Amino acid sequence: MQEIIQAISVAAVRIKKAIEFSDTGYSEHTNKTGDTQLKLDIASDLIIEEEFSKVPSVKTVISEEKDEAKLLHEEGRYIVGYDPLDGSSLIDVNLAVGSIFGIYENGMSGSDLICAVYVVYGPRVEMVVAWSKVTLYRLNESGKFIKIKEIKLNEKGKLNATGATQKGWAAYHKKLIDEIFADGYRLRYSGGMVPDLHQILLKGGGLFSYPSTTDALKGKLRMVFEVFPFAFVFEKAGGGAIDGKRRILELKPSHLHDTTPCFFGSNEEIKRVLNEYAKH
Ligand code: AHG
Ligand code: MN
Ligand code: MN
């Protein structure tokens, strides 16, 4: 596992450089979800694949930017699912973006996940590794990730990050979100799940939601590359992750690019969602 985390660290430094200095325009390609890919989405995907191709324990990689899984080492043990550049449409406005990794064994269901890592490219580059614990690292001047601290969520937080277009929300979802705000929670939403979830994790807790909407019944965020890894991080940090009714890590995708509604948060907020959603 250490060599996989090391490969991610090397890829992160390369991606940060690409974000800072290379072309931020769109390519002529779309990915499996139908998003037009930025040149940087494609470049980041290639950087990560290149670094994993040097790690014999990585059997297969599957990325948000690849239509199919790709075999790297026949004898390898792990499957790595990743979103090379999450929030890439925020690059042109110079907001923080990220990379998300799920390290799976045997299959690509939530229960096959054994480690999750994400990198935030903000004013500083930080990496969070969830294994038995959740640890925050920060890139230093010499290009090394230095351990900063362990991340633990409080039982209850103060932030509310509300995703998806409100006109597509179910009435009961709107009621739940309105009640949370009425209790004094503050809105925090940049439109990049990596910095938005990172903020909730580091500020002690709160709720991030990306629900089912009338035009996207299964939400927008992809299980294998985005939702499972963050569910793993939130559970290991002492919080929870659900689709409204079930634990995210009990879900099984039928296709690699499947999406699911999702809620990540500290325990009080997750209980609150479960109670409200159980009525519908
Ligand atoms: P990506 O850039 O990999 O396609 O993902 C963007 C995602 C996620 O980061 C964010 O939480 C969500 O899209 C925002 O969507 P809305 O603008 O619909 O809230
Ligand atoms: Mn993404
Ligand atoms: Mn992406």
Domain count of the chain?
Answer: 2
CA–CA separation, 58 and 247 (whole Å): 27
User: Are residues 11 and 86 located together in one domain of the fold?
Assistant: yes
Position 36 scores a pLDDT of 87
Q: What is the pTM of this model?
A: 0.96
Beta strands in the chain (DSSP E): 26-30, 36-38, 58-63, 70-71, 78-86, 97-105, 113-121, 125-130, 134-139, 145-150, 159-162, 186-187, 206-210, 240-242, 262-265
* Boundaries of domain holding 7: 2-150
Residue 208 has φ and ψ, to the nearest 5°, of -120, 130
User: Are residues 143 and 164 located together in one domain of the fold?
Assistant: no
Tokens of 217: 């019944």
Position 109 scores a pLDDT of 97
Spacing, Cα 222 to ligand 1 middle (Å): 10
Protein residue closest via CA to atom 11 of ligand 1:
193
Q: State the average pLDDT over residues 146-152.
A: 98
User: Are residues 15 and 143 located together in one domain of the fold?
Assistant: yes
Nearest Cα to 117, choosing from 3, 232, 203, 14?
232
- Domain final residue pick, 126, 150, 174: 150
Under DSSP, the state recorded for 75 is T
Tokens of 255: 């296709």
Ligand in closest contact with the CA of 194? 1
* Ligand 1 neighbour 164 (Cβ under 6 A): yes
Q: Which helix (H) or strand (E) holds 223?
A: none
CATH number assigned to the domain comprising residue 90: 3.30.540.10
- Domain final residue pick, 130, 150, 170: 150
User: Are residues 163 and 252 located together in one domain of the fold?
Assistant: yes
CATH number assigned to the domain comprising residue 272: 3.40.190.80
User: Are residues 145 and 226 located together in one domain of the fold?
Assistant: no
User: Are residues 26 and 145 located together in one domain of the fold?
Assistant: yes
User: Are residues 53 and 79 located together in one domain of the fold?
Assistant: yes
User: Are residues 49 and 184 located together in one domain of the fold?
Assistant: no
Spacing, Cα 8 to ligand 3 middle (Å): 16
User: Are residues 168 and 136 located together in one domain of the fold?
Assistant: no
Sign of CA dihedral 44, 46, 51, 57: positive
Q: State the average pLDDT over residues 30-40.
A: 87
Q: State the average pLDDT over residues 1-16.
A: 97
CB atoms within 10 A of CB 164: 19
Protein residue closest via CA to atom 6 of ligand 1:
87
The confidence band for 22, taking pLDDT boundaries of 50, 70 and 90, is confident
Question: What is the average pLDDT value for the chain, to the nearest integer?
Answer: 96
The confidence band for 23, taking pLDDT boundaries of 50, 70 and 90, is confident
- Domain final residue pick, 93, 120, 150: 150
User: Are residues 137 and 184 located together in one domain of the fold?
Assistant: no
Residue recorded with tokens 């500083």: 124
User: Are residues 23 and 131 located together in one domain of the fold?
Assistant: yes
Residue of 29, 86, 120, 190 to test ligand 1 pocket, by largest number of atoms within 8 Å of CB: 86
Residue 269 has φ and ψ, to the nearest 5°, of -70, -40
